[in-house]
Chain A
Amino acid sequence: MLEVSGLTTKYGEISALREASLHVGAGEVVGLIGPNGAGKTTLLNTIAGLLAPSAGGVVFDGDDITGHSPEGLLRSGLALVPEHRRIFVNLTVEENLRIGGVTVPPSDRPGLLDEMGERFPILRDKWTTSAGYLSGGEAQQLAIARALMSRPRLLMMDEPSLGLAPLLVDVVFELIDTLRSQGRTLLVVEQNATKMLDLADRAYVLRSGEVVAEGTGAELRDNRDLFDTFVGN
């Protein structure tokens, strides 16, 4: 479904991403792990059209989407839950969800809102609360629900467990698992390598802007060297 080849993105002179390539098949859950500053967020932001690559290309469902705008990509079915969630703190929970659904025909929107309310009962309770008052875990659920409003074919998530207590991390990963069992295609960037590798069908390891390893979740998890690169001996 998604084919990234040789993607290079620069900030001025500095290459944050160097010839990165990956692919995501329909229905797959693909993980993207690596230490801080490895370029994971840069990769997602480039795919999503927020950053322009200096080289390489992205193909989504057969269409070349390199350099397309984020607004356009969302209409093609590619959604991103950004790092730090970035919910609109000046809007209510409901309004955040409605923004997520602006690209959907107006007649479908009420139905989608109801659906999100059912799937995320915690949000339902806080429907008219300003999003700035949500806790970290609730905000993460809102961010994911908001992205789901656009009925994406491929959902990308940037560090969904960032800053959450271990218990909430489990909740988030359960959510990802549920999405997977619904047949959704996911590309997830995570710091929490072990949990991600348990869940993913396949994963890529990014370091200093380059893809240094690729394999199934199990292969990478049991690879001792890889583990050491991350977490010392």
Chain B
Amino acid sequence: MTELLQNLIDGLGRGSIYALLALGVAVIFGVMHLLNFAHGELITVSGYASFWALGAGWSWYLTVPLIVAVSVLTSLIIERVAFSRVRGADDFTLLLTSFGVHFVVSAIFLLYVSASVKTYPRPAWVTNTFAVDSLRIEVFDTVVIVVTIATLVATTLLLQRTTFGLSLRAAAADFDTARLMGVRSNSVIRGAFALSGALAGIASVFWLMRSGSTSPTAGIDPMLKGVLAALIGGLGSLRGAVLGGFTLGLAEVILRSRLPDSVASLTEGVVFLLIALLFIFRPQGLISVPHAERV
């Protein structure tokens, strides 16, 4: 029982970051029907920014806002350069465009930055733990979960209570009719990318704090987690993205603890297998959003 609870907590902690990543992916999908394989590059960029800042003597207090700012800026640049030019294209083109962006950005990093892993100092409290009964809880996990919940609340408020959020939800439902209502399409899209960038930025902060290092390929893993979590949750809804993130986190933790040692290293593979099975039997994900097709 204790083990289960421990798994639960660890899984939630891990899943929180995935949920944040998935939210960023889901926001873009909701607005453009585009699955953003380039989402992880925001983390890579943030990683190098952190390495530079911390190396130059900045404290983590200053580095955190830098990370978010860099992430938002990069997201906007990518939108301007690539995604804005394929709006309305078919799904095949959109998928490959985002794949292409991912490769260009990571290739540029490989080109100009040494392929070696760069490390930087992590905040002192990252490895602290405290105990509740027989459960060992990481301070880090607690902070992440709290921040994730706060971010979710803030994002939800943004989307539900502000005019921007309203415009975004309207444009996501019916792009052209939203324009008829006077919603400025381009601004809304850019706003969505900025929001996605901010969400990635917050996720980056924790991802980077935990890993203490970055490399040109640092973004692949978080990208996959974010994309998969968003897919698991069902691409139409933000709630689904969050649910998908927690599901993925829990699945990973539970599998790792349950699988026999000999195959423990196959956890990643098993997770993928389970995801494939999910898509075979429930292609619309966990929370499906129905849409009718006019015949």
Q: Do A and B bind each other?
A: yes
**Which of A16-24, A86-94, A170-178, A217-225 touches B?**
A86-94
Q: B122: CB under 8 A from chain A? A: no
Q: For residue B110, which residues in chain A have a CB less than 8 angstroms away from its CB?
A: none
* Shortest distance between the CB of B140 and any CB in chain A (Å): 36
The one of A49, A106, A150 that contacts B181, using a Cβ cutoff of 8 Å? A150
Q: For residue A88, which residues in chain B have a CB less than 8 angstroms away from its CB?
A: 169-170, 173-174, 177-178
Whether A100 touches B166, Cβ cut-off 8 Å, given contacts A86-B174, A88-B174, A89-B173, is no
Q: A229: CB under 8 A from chain B? A: no
Q: For residue A196, which residues in chain B have a CB less than 8 angstroms away from its CB?
A: none
> Quick check: B179 and A69 within 8 Å, CB to CB?
yes
| 8 Å CB interface, A81-111 against B | 82, 86, 88-91, 95, 98-100, 102-103, 106
* Shortest distance between the CB of B172 and any CB in chain A (Å): 8
* Shortest distance between the CB of A220 and any CB in chain B (Å): 29
Q: A195: CB under 8 A from chain B? A: no
A69 to B167, CA, bound (A): 17
A106 to B166, CA, bound (A): 14
A-B interface, 10 closest residue pairs, ranked by CB to CB distance from nearest = A103-B182, A74-B182, A70-B179, A86-B177, A88-B173, A90-B173, A99-B170, A70-B180, A99-B181, A88-B170
Q: For residue A86, which residues in chain B have a CB less than 8 angstroms away from its CB?
A: 174, 177
Q: A4: CB under 8 A from chain B? A: no
The one of B163, B173, B182 that contacts A71, using a Cβ cutoff of 8 Å? B182
Q: A205: CB under 8 A from chain B? A: no
Which of B170, B177, B178, B181 lies at the interface centre, i.e. has the most chain A CB atoms within 10 A of its CB? B181
| Chain B residues near A (Cβ < 8 Å) | 163, 166-167, 169-170, 172-174, 176-185
Whether A80 touches B180, Cβ cut-off 8 Å, given contacts A98-B166, A99-B166, is yes
Q: For residue B172, which residues in chain A have a CB less than 8 angstroms away from its CB?
A: 90
> Quick check: A102 and B167 within 8 Å, CB to CB?
yes
* Complex A-B: 7 CB contacts under 8 Å: A70-B176, A86-B174, A88-B173, A91-B173, A99-B167, A99-B178, A150-B182
Interface of B is mostly: helix
A95 to B181, CA, bound (A): 12
With A71-B184, A102-B183 given, name 7 new contacts (CB 8 A): A69-B179, A71-B183, A88-B169, A88-B173, A99-B166, A99-B167, A106-B163
Specify the chain A residue showing the minimal Cβ separation from B167.
A102
Specify the chain B residue showing the minimal Cβ separation from A100.
B181
* Shortest distance between the CB of B261 and any CB in chain A (Å): 48
* Shortest distance between the CB of B181 and any CB in chain A (Å): 5
Q: A48: CB under 8 A from chain B? A: yes
A199 to B183, CA, bound (A): 32
A143 to B140, CA, bound (A): 50
A53 to B95, CA, bound (A): 31
* Shortest distance between the CB of B175 and any CB in chain A (Å): 10
Q: A207: CB under 8 A from chain B? A: no
Q: For residue B184, which residues in chain A have a CB less than 8 angstroms away from its CB?
A: 71
Q: A212: CB under 8 A from chain B? A: no
Q: A40: CB under 8 A from chain B? A: no
* Shortest distance between the CB of B213 and any CB in chain A (Å): 41
The one of A75, A89, A95 that contacts B182, using a Cβ cutoff of 8 Å? A75
* Shortest distance between the CB of B188 and any CB in chain A (Å): 10
A58 to B224, CA, bound (A): 49
Q: For residue B182, which residues in chain A have a CB less than 8 angstroms away from its CB?
A: 70-71, 74-75, 102-103, 150
Q: For residue B181, which residues in chain A have a CB less than 8 angstroms away from its CB?
A: 74, 99-100, 102-103, 146, 150
A38 to B195, CA, bound (A): 43
A101 to B62, CA, bound (A): 40
Whether A90 touches B169, Cβ cut-off 8 Å, given contacts A71-B185, A102-B163, is yes
* Shortest distance between the CB of A203 and any CB in chain B (Å): 24
Q: For residue B167, which residues in chain A have a CB less than 8 angstroms away from its CB?
A: 99, 102
Q: A26: CB under 8 A from chain B? A: no
| 8 Å CB interface, A129-157 against B | 146, 150
Which of A71, A98, A100 lies at the interface centre, i.e. has the most chain B CB atoms within 10 A of its CB? A71
Specify the chain A residue showing the minimal Cβ separation from B187.
A71
A100 to B166, CA, bound (A): 11
Which of B166, B170, B182 lies at the interface centre, i.e. has the most chain A CB atoms within 10 A of its CB? B182
> Quick check: A82 and B166 within 8 Å, CB to CB?
no
Q: A50: CB under 8 A from chain B? A: yes
A75 to B181, CA, bound (A): 9
